[in-house]
Chains A and B, each alone.
Chain A
């Protein structure tokens, strides 16, 4: 029995549907990501689970109980917002203690639990600061602490790292994942950043236009996209229609093919011939645009030595790993 079960969920704003018939299951202790472009419905789904947005029909089961008729106060769910949503008139300690206060936990227990969770996010020295005195990363850690201290059954994170700069984002990513593992807390994470999704999740639900397009672990999603959208969203897939694919591989191909750039190797001699059109240096990877048999392909080569540097115009030979050829809808 899954811990969280979303069944036949429907939601529309007036005449325009957000999602029609969403189903997904999440196991206890899993870290699951809802991934997708803006407007795909991932944040709305999260808010429906939290109870902040009403659903039109369907069920949301948490440990067997349907959440839909319950108000947000009663769902036992913690949530971290993109904008932190820290109460500006309260100190860090008061912010974190708020949920315990609503649960009428007595003052001593509350104080020790607050201290404990602040240590977990490494902010125990900031207890009497106000939110406007904290940096973005610190604010988000306080928001995390505030949602954890009430010992929720489910933790929701709505693009919590999008407003932070890259270095802090990486650090917080690890911290969140570590805390989640320690506590064994079932977590749903929403993001549009595929790198975040791939590095943090046990499982990913890829969403587009209100549907769950594909679900699976990071490896599966990355190496075996099911359709054009998935292939276009994750990674930098080369998408070939059937004709171009036939021309390239010189055998009949019935469907569209997706090929990962790193699955193509370049050498100076071989059967499949092509020419380097342009390149860009991405640091540890060199990305080439190569034309072979009238088809333009992106090829990623690890920047190991000068032998991997091919000037524009150079004639090269491509070798494609046959297992990396992915048929997409």
Chain B
């Protein structure tokens, strides 16, 4: 930092941060404005403001169905994740700590393998035959489980390490608890907050997922993102209201997760 002119460097940094903010804000702001505009074509600013697009959106049964179906799939996937991952984490960290290294590699797979690539195999394997689930929400729930896996595994692992799982379990068992009792009564309550934060963040991520939803299920079980894409030919204002509604919903979730995170410390 230059001693001779600390004011200038402070100004520079503020400027850069505001620039960053504006760059990130522009698309959002534009969409928001468009969703509130009566009409806005080929001119710099909209001609008037109105809420009618939001009213139209929230009274559209197809939208509400899509919203509901998205909710169902995401909640279902997260439920499945919790049921599968919690026991996994517990067993790995308590009984087989060396498996953690292997797990850390495995959870890279959903990141390293793009959803398009997995979809190729998924469509062929489960499109027909004994395990046909393409076109149903079930395949989505399964795939979303793999998508949420890295987030949830890492978040809960950090949590487990922070509460020192082994010592807690050993102490509980010395006091007479069985493994199950110790897990449910002692460990689980301590994981609550970390679990909740992980769930909220995974949920926001899953809610915005498009690739699997479109390729594997499409209109047969229309989630919100697929609905959004299918409505591309209707009014841009309507679409903007849709986008903003979706974003506000996700915003609330991430804000809640942030608050919970801060409370933790």
Direct contact of A and B (CB under 8 A): yes
Q: Does A220 contact B (CB under 8 A)?
A: no
CB of B4 closer than 8 Å to a CB of A: yes
Could you tell me the distance in whole angstroms from the C-beta of A160 to the nearest C-beta in chain B?
22
Contact count band on B: under 10
A267 CB within 8 Å of chain B? no
Pick from A54, A70, A72: contact of B6, CB below 8 A.
Answer: A54
A71 contacts B by Cβ under 8 Å? yes
A41 at the interface (CB under 8 A from B): no
CB distance from A255 to the nearest CB of B (A): 45
In the assembled complex, the Cα of A100 lies from the Cα of B224 at a distance in Å of 64
State the CA gap A71–B1 with chains docked (Å).
Answer: 10
A53-B3, A54-B3 given; name 8 further pairs at CB < 8 Å.
Answer: A51-B3, A52-B3, A54-B6, A69-B4, A70-B4, A71-B2, A71-B3, A72-B3
> Which chain A residues border B4 with CB–CB below 8 Å?
69-71
Cα A70 to Cα B2 in complex, Å, equals 10
User: What 7 A-B pairs come out closest when comparing CB atoms?
Assistant: A71-B4, A51-B3, A71-B3, A54-B3, A72-B3, A71-B2, A54-B6
Chain B residues closer than 8 Å to A51, beta-carbon distance: 3
List 11 interface pairs A-B (beta carbons < 8 Å), by A numbering. A51-B3, A52-B3, A53-B3, A54-B3, A54-B6, A69-B4, A70-B4, A71-B2, A71-B3, A71-B4, A72-B3
A52 partner residues in chain B, CB cutoff 8 A: 3
Contact with A along B1-36 (1 / 0, CB 8 A): 011101000000000000000000000000000000
Residues in B neighbouring A72, C-beta threshold 8 A: 3
B residues contacting A by CB (< 8 A) are 2-4, 6
Of chain A, the residue at the smallest CB distance from B4 is: A71
- A54 and B6 alpha carbons, distance in the complex (Å): 9
Q: Which residues of A contact B2 (CB under 8 A)?
A: 71
The distance from the CB of B11 to the nearest CB of chain A, in whole angstroms, is: 16
Nearest CB in chain B: distance from A11 CB, A: 13
- Which of B2, B3, B4, B6 is most buried by chain A, counting CB atoms within 10 A of its CB? B3
What separation, in Å, do the CA atoms of A53 and B2 have in the docked complex? 10
Q: Which residue of chain A is the closest to B2 with respect to CB atoms?
A: A71
Q: CA A72 – CA B6 in complex, angstroms?
A: 13
Of B2, B4, B6, most buried by chain A (CB within 10 Å of CB) is B4
Chain A nearest CB: distance from B3 CB in Å?
5
Complex Cα distance A54/B4, Å? 8
Taking the nearest CB of chain A, how far is it from the CB of B148, in angstroms? 39
Interface residues in A42-72 (C-beta closer than 8 Å to B): 51-54, 69-72
The interface residues of chain B lying within 8 Å CB-to-CB of A53 are: 3
CB closest chain-B residue, reference A53:
B3
In A69-102, which residues have CB < 8 Å from any B CB? 69-72
Kindly state the separation between the CA atoms of A72 and B5 in the bound complex, as whole angstroms.
12
Nearest-CB distance from A52 to chain B (Å)? Answer: 7
**Inside 8 A of B6's CB, which chain A residues have their CB?**
54
A52→B1 CA distance, assembly (Å) = 8
Residues on B with beta carbons closer than 8 Å to the beta carbon of A69: 4
Q: Which residue of B lies closest to A75 (CB)?
A: B3
Q: Nearest Cβ in chain B — how far from A130, in angstroms?
A: 27
Chain B: minimal CB distance from A285 (Å): 46
CA of A51 to CA of B4 in the docked complex: distance in angstroms?
9
Q: How far is the CB of A292 from chain B (nearest CB, A)?
A: 54
A69 to B5, CA, bound (A): 10
- Alpha-carbon gap, A52 to B2, bound state (A): 8
User: When chains A and B are docked, how far (Å) is the Cα of A69 from the Cα of B4?
Assistant: 7
